[in-house]
Structure 1
Amino acid sequence: MSTSLRAAALAIAVSTTLLAAPEASATNYTLWIHGKNGGGTQRGNYADFSNWGPSTVSAGVNKKAVNWDGRQKISVENFRIRDALDCYCTGTNWCYVAVHSAGNLQIGYALSLHGGSTRSVRNAVPNSSGVCGTTGATQVGWNIKWVDVASGAGGGSELADNGEWATSDPIVGDLTTSTARGMYNHNTTRSKWFYMFAAAKGTAYSGILSGQDDEAVAYHSTGGVSVKGGFCNPGDWFCDGTLTTGTAATSNGKAKWSYHTVSFRDDGENHDHYQNGNWENIVGVVRADVAAYAY
């Protein structure tokens, strides 16, 4: 974890300018955005952590579950992410954001395509649909301190390319490597840092996924690399290059997207993609990071 990058992210965050008078009190929140399928979560219910694990577990200050239909296309369901950001990340309120898998596409899409738009400042009191009341003020974009990404699918997965997932789910088309990478400008994060946590305990689909993988997504995606390729841990054979930690390009010169840094590379190959309804594997690594830094 680069403490200097954390400090830089926080310094940038506090520079956001409101266009009208803010709310009287300030609160920090932690938003958790799940990935594909979503475990039958109740959409619009910010207290439903059934996709992740026990809600009693420490997972950041004032944690909220941002539940969306993980079978649907990103563009169709992104309004739910924007509703949550409007609710908890406007006015004097600030957010930490943690995402898993296709949740990476959801927050990236929201920031790139809507993060420069005028938002209504909300009161952090949601109705049954997950929409919060207005305060009458407005601002540009959202107050986000940083984003932690567990096995991010921002670069798509070869499993979608090769039809390994149920094609009846519209989101599978979004998860092909070409579509995910072309969906929005991944370099446009509105200066919000994406801290990437890349897992490498991949076995079942090692012949389909490029380089190191976690059984669902490969390092080119989970490491925030700007091009598709077979990237691995140091010393591994038959790879295009090594996925570096931090912001540096891979060992063969492939750049990461802007404001993307690898905070965790699974050199021991100890973590796979799946949280198993109990904050496990790479989600567990991110949960511990969020518990330590989101306060």
Structure 2
Amino acid sequence: MKLLRTFMALCLFALTASAANPAAATNYSLWINGRTGGGAIGNYNSWSYWGLGTINAGVNKKSVNWDGRSSIASQSGLIRNALDCFCTGNNWCYIATHSAGDLMMGYVLANYGGSARMKKNAVPNASGVCRNAGGGAQAGWNIKWVLSAAGSGGGSELADYGAWTTSEPLVQDVKTSTARAMYNHNATHNIWFYMYAGASGGPGSFLLPGQDDGVEAYHSAGGISGSSGRSLCNPRDWFCNDLTLGVAPNEGGSTKWAYHSVSFRDDREVYGHFTEASWSGIVSVMLGTMVNYAR
């Protein structure tokens, strides 16, 4: 009888402890590609856009692939699927974006960041969709922060001047006037975007104002507000206003969008735009942050 009472007491303790301590949260690191795409859509372990999939790229890394050619609106459902899968319920996400992936993430947050999202089980099917986990819905997603390397939230003058094929829907979206008017860039639902701006330049730099990585000028990569791009540079350039670090206004008075902060400015002018399928360019700097802080 004494043994039975002891057993029942242990069972009651276990049930009470389970009720007091819900399932532990799992953190995920989501990587959202830019123009051209490359990874298999729906396969969160397909890393061909970025480089070797075996490297450390943050805790429980997932590659959120979209085609990198179609319009932001038409492809945004793929990003919402991933956020629903891994960033609801008890789970939280760190997010890294590159190039048009920044425009994509900004669009998704501005338009859906406060919407009702069903809590999912973080077990995707072949299409990258997860089943409901129970517990109903929540408002928006559990996102710790967003990192943006060579962000295109402000668009690129290369699209304005037809440096890429104009029949591509994404090219239409990344024109500076279109990208800046596409959604409310200040509406991040209190989620911070930390910007990484490269400045190595490239063949198309003569079309880009101020410092640039060969595709994105500092006005876009730095998350600068306004209806059009402006010329911003590194401090050693005497003939151009400085892009400031953090959230401070830039030299000359231009400001960043709300919840946008410049984490890295390429003062040495060595980091370019492209990943080269080897985690290269400005993405390599962002990768270091994900490795060290996405845990």
Question: Which secondary structure state, in structure 1, belongs to the residue aligned with residue 57 of structure 2?
Answer: coil
Whole-Å separation in 2 of the counterparts to 1:25 and 1:80? 26
Match of 2:112 in 1: 114
Structure 2 unpaired stretches of 5+: 1-20
Give the match for residue 171 of structure 1: 170
1:291 aligns to what? 291
- Counterpart of 1:150? 149
Distance 1:198 1:248 in 2: 16
Distance 1:41 1:123 in 2: 23
Q: Which residue of 2 aligns with 1:233?
A: 234
Select which of 74, 77, 80 maps to 2:78.
80
Residue 205 (structure 1) shift: 1.5
SS in 1 for 2:109: helix
Pair member with larger Rg: 2
Aligned to 1:224: 223
Q: What SS does structure 2 have at the residue aligned with 1:125? A: coil
State the Cα deviation string for residues 81-126 of structure 1 (Å, max 9, x = none): 0000000000000000000000001110111100010000000000
Distance 1:43 1:165, change over 3 A: same
Corresponding residue of 2:18: none
Q: Deviations over 1:33-63 (max 9, x none)?
A: 000111x221010000110000111110000
Distance of 2:276 and 2:290 partners within structure 1: 19
- The residue aligned with 2:282 is 282
Partner of 2:44: 46
The equivalent residue for 1:16 is none
Q: What displacement does 1:25 show?
A: 3.3
Q: Is the 8 A contact 2:205 2:215 kept in 1?
A: no
Q: Distance in 1 between matches of 2:78 and 2:186?
A: 22
Q: Find the partner of 2:98 among 100, 103, 117.
A: 100
TM-score normalised by the chain length of structure 2: 0.91
Partner of 2:253: 253
> Percent identical across equivalent pairs?
56
Structure 1 position 67, deviation (Å):
0.3
5+ residue gaps, structure 1: 1-21
1:188-220 CA-partner distances (Å, limit 9, x unpaired): 111011000000000311210011000001000
For 1:32 and 1:167, locate their aligned partners in 2 and report how far apart those are by CA, in whole Å: 27
CA contact (8 A) 1:32 1:64 kept: yes
What does the per-residue CA deviation read over 1:15-45, in whole Å, with 9 as the maximum and x for residues that have no partner? xxxxxxx97331000000000111x221010
Q: Secondary structure at the match of 2:158?
A: helix
Structure 1 stretches of 4+ with a deviation exceeding 6 A read none
Q: Secondary structure at the match of 1:113?
A: helix
Q: In angstroms, what is the RMSD of aligned CA positions?
A: 1.1
Residue 263 (str. 1) matches residue 263 (str. 2) = yes
Q: Which amino acid aligns with 1:232?
A: C
Deviates more, 1:106-115 or 1:22-31: 22-31
Shift of 1:235: 2.2
8 A Cα contact 1:23 1:91, kept in partner: no
In structure 1, what is the Cα distance between the partners aligned to 2:291 and 2:54?
12
SS at match of 2:131: strand
The alpha-carbon distance between structure 1 residues 221 and 23, as it changes in their structure 2 partners (threshold 3 A), is farther
Q: For 2:129 and 2:109, how far apart are their aligned partners in 1?
A: 19
Normalising to structure 1: TM-score of the pair? Answer: 0.91
Q: How many residues align?
A: 272
Equivalents in 2 of 1:34, 1:237: separation in Å?
35
